[in-house]
Amino acid sequence: MRIESSAKLLRALTSDADTAASLLKAGDLVATVHGRTHRGLESLDDALRTVIRMSRASVSARSTGELLGAVGSFELWVFIGREFGDVHLYLKGEAIRDCRSCQTGPALYRALRDTILAMSDRRLETERKLASTARRLDTLCEGLGKPFEHEERLTALLGRQRALAANLDKDQAGTEGLQAAEESLAA
């Protein structure tokens, strides 16, 4: 089950990493925020800063997520937590990736770009973990397939234990018979 979920995550991360690579080849990020298209740091940082400022003003007792628009084929969301400092952007493709929480426009742009850059790293890390888990599973299956190394000795010991138990039962029956004979003679 763990391997299946890791394989599913790996497929999602691979798809997202391919999409991220094509986004990064284009140069400046192009994002749609509330229906308006923004290109590059100068345009996008103001839009992101405004979104974060408005989201921090709407912090409530419930955590919510709000769809802002898109960055390439990734959906751009803002998470509004229960506390003022728990407001951040995240990208949703086949998998979800949180961006670092920032306040200034340029920092928000860099956090968004860094999140896209890190997509291939997470895929590689998941590949390594999946390969490691598969190797451990193979080792366990191989170990289970081998015969128990002391099986013959254990079988011999169990046979000897049964023979000794049978002799003990005979001794107890003989002792009870002698005691009954002695009682009848005494009577």
**Is the model's pTM score more than 0.85?**
no
Using one digit for the tens of pLDDT, what is the confidence trace for 5-25? 888 888 888 888 888 888 888
The C-alpha atoms of residue 61 and residue 161 are separated, in whole angstroms, by 69
Is the pLDDT at 155 greater than 80? The verdict is: yes
The closest alpha carbon to 15, from 77, 135, 97, belongs to 97
Is the pLDDT at 148 greater than 80? The verdict is: no
pLDDT band for 81, please (50, 70, 90 cuts): confident
Map out the domains of the chain as residue ranges: 2-127, 152-187
Is the pLDDT at 177 greater than 80? The verdict is: no
**Residue for token pair 């254990």:** 154
Is the pLDDT at 100 greater than 80? The verdict is: yes
The C-alpha atoms of residue 128 and residue 121 are separated, in whole angstroms, by 11
pLDDT of residue 162: 93
Residue 94's CB is within 10 A of a number of other CB atoms, namely 16
pLDDT of residue 178: 67
pLDDT of residue 185: 67
pLDDT band for 186, please (50, 70, 90 cuts): low
SS (H, E, C) 92-104: ECCCEEECCCCCC
| Burial (CB count <10 Å: 0-12, 13-18, 19+), residue 130 | middle
Q: What average pLDDT does the segment 100-125 reach? A: 86
Measure the N-to-C terminal CA separation of the chain; round to a whole number of Å: 76
Q: What is the largest CA-CA distance in the chain?
A: 117
Is the pLDDT at 161 greater than 90? The verdict is: yes
